[in-house]
């Protein structure tokens, strides 16, 4: 899905220029001529970044940035200030101090703007990566994304179905699981498979896990349970 960028710019020609530039680079961009319209749009959906002109009617760009940085909607948003009049070093410093991530003076170099925006978005994505899910049970750990099983810190080679079966046991520990339920959940109801298939995979799993495998107990005429 394309990153979304809000352009807060009251000059129609300049606003259209930024829209075309961003869309050519693959971004989903929307134009807001006033601070009010921009804030109204934030109530519906927060963009990934905002390009904000410093000279706007009613509320200037620095004030918009300050408000955003103090609100849940804008605290983590990438904010790029743009100005055609406030070009002095003191203006740039003031804009950055207000909370802008970057400050450009007009005319803006299009390639530099896009490179900087891409860099900010890439860095933000890296910081918000969801950590890998790890199922842990004593000295056993299953790393779900890597599909790696470790017992006492050492890797245990499991087949795809053995890994899925063990993960299901860990998620349903201390519950009696029937063979038919295991076939449905792990083998996704494959009609070719039988309850004997479950028994064989459990047997292999126990063998590979050594002493830990003894925790997977058979429940006569029913199925299995992983004891905690």
Q: List the chain domain ranges.
A: 4-127, 134-226
| In this structure, CATH architecture of domain 134-226 | Orthogonal Bundle (1.10)
Nearby residues of 221 by Cβ (< 8 Å), 6 or more positions away: none
The pLDDT, as a whole number, for residue 1 is: 66
Give CATH for domain 4-127.
3.40.50.2300
Name which of 104, 152, 144, 117 is nearest 21 in CA terms. Answer: 117
What pTM was estimated for this model as a whole? 0.56
Q: Are 208 and 155 in contact (CB under 8 A)?
A: no
How many whole angstroms separate alpha carbon 10 and alpha carbon 68?
19
Per-residue pLDDT of the chain (228 residues; tens, 9 = 90+): 689 999 999 999 999 999 999 999 999 999 999 999 999 999 888 999 999 999 998 898 999 999 999 887 788 899 999 998 888 999 999 999 999 999 999 999 999 999 999 999 888 766 555 577 899 998 999 999 889 999 999 999 999 999 999 999 999 999 999 999 999 999 887 766 778 889 999 999 999 999 999 999 999 989 999 998
Name which of 81, 83, 78, 82 is nearest 119 in CA terms. Answer: 78
């Amino acid at each position: 899905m394309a990153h979304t960028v809000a352009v807060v710019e009251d000059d129609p020609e300049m606003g259209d220029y930024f829209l075309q530039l961003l869309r050519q680079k693959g971004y989903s961009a929307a134009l807001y001529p006033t601070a009010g319209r921009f804030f109204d749009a934030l109530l519906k959906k927060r963009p990934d970044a905002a390009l904000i002109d410093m000279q706007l009617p009613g509320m200037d760009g620095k004030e918009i940035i300050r408000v955003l940085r103090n609100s849940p909607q804008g605290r983590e948003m990438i904010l790029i200030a743009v100005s055609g009049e406030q070009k002095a070093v003191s203006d740039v410093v003031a804009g950055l101090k207000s909370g802008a991530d970057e400050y450009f003076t007009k005319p803006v170099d299009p390639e530099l703007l896009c490179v900087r925006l891409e860099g900010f978005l890439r860095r933000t994505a890296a910081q918000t990566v969801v950590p890998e899910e790890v199922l842990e049970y004593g000295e056993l750990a299953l790393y779900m994304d890597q599909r790696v099983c470790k017992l006492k810190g050492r890797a245990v080679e499991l087949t795809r179905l053995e890994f899925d079966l063990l993960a299901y046991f860990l998620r349903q520990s201390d519950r009696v699981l029937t063979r038919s339920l295991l076939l449905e959940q792990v083998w996704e109801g494959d009609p070719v498979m039988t309850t004997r298939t479950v028994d064989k995979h459990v047997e292999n799993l126990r063998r590979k896990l050594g002493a830990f495998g003894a925790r997977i107990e058979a429940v006569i005429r029913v199925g299995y349970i992983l004891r905690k």
